Amino acid sequence: MYLIRQFATLAGVTVRTLHHYDRLGLLSPHQRTESGYRLYTTEDLVRLERITVLRYLGLSLRQIADMLSSTQSGKLDIAELLQTQAVILRERRDGITRVLRAVEAAERSLDVAHTPDWQLFQTIIKEVSMQENAEWPKKYYSESALEVIEQRTSEWTPELQEDFTRKWNELFAKVEAAIASGEDPTSPNGRDLARQWQKLVERFTGGNSEVQRGLNAMYNDQSNWPETTKQQHAVKPEILNFIRRASASQP
């Protein structure tokens, strides 16, 4: 028997993750101490291992719960998921291979000409950036927030994304116009722009506070974003400052 902190250390996960899995009914210890503390067993460790593998294969926690409740369908689904994950891993491997080849080619160019081939260095930067862009946002979000994002992403259509992007661009233009005219963020128009901003944010967060915290942390750390992401998606500091001041002045 293991208390929750002992079990978390043994399994290499956080206590917060175990609490989240318990709330979802994914991994609920069957025993507790007289004081009410959770007690985990080696059987729970085996179940956690299955959950971890299925998460790695790309399933949402909701899908994992359904799969673990049905052994027969789970076997069929796992076979398909393994094939899908193999494709994803091969794509990642191919990306790393391209980076390695570009690095080796750059080394050879230095050995032969003693002058760097800058085009090769551009290739290296591009390939590494592509690898970074796929995973870097996840570090800002908790396990439960990633689960919400994953669920909402599965329901997000190209048409919704097009509409979402258009509305953001229109709002950015309005805020920039307000800034250019010297408008006070605490004015009625400034507060209205802040409300429009929050409505768009809630289309992404779904009103979930955990997702909102992760989103805030990500945008507060724009200086550490991958370079290509900064160029394409970073929000100008003056726009963020305007919206923050306008939001703070809301009645």
Is the four-CA dihedral 224, 147, 203, 208 of positive or negative sign? negative
- Name the strands in the sheet holding 31-32, side by side, starting at the edge strand that comes first in the sequence: 2-3, 38-40, 31-32
pLDDT top residue among 45 and 242: 242
Q: What is the pTM of this model?
A: 0.52
Rama region for 86: left / alpha / beta (φ>0; ψ in -120 to 50; rest): alpha
Q: Indicate the domain borders of the chain.
A: 2-56, 89-140, 143-248
Structure confidence at residue 88 (pLDDT):
67
Q: What is the CATH number that goes with domain 2-56?
A: 1.10.1660.10
Structure confidence at residue 1 (pLDDT):
83
pLDDT top residue among 184 and 128: 184
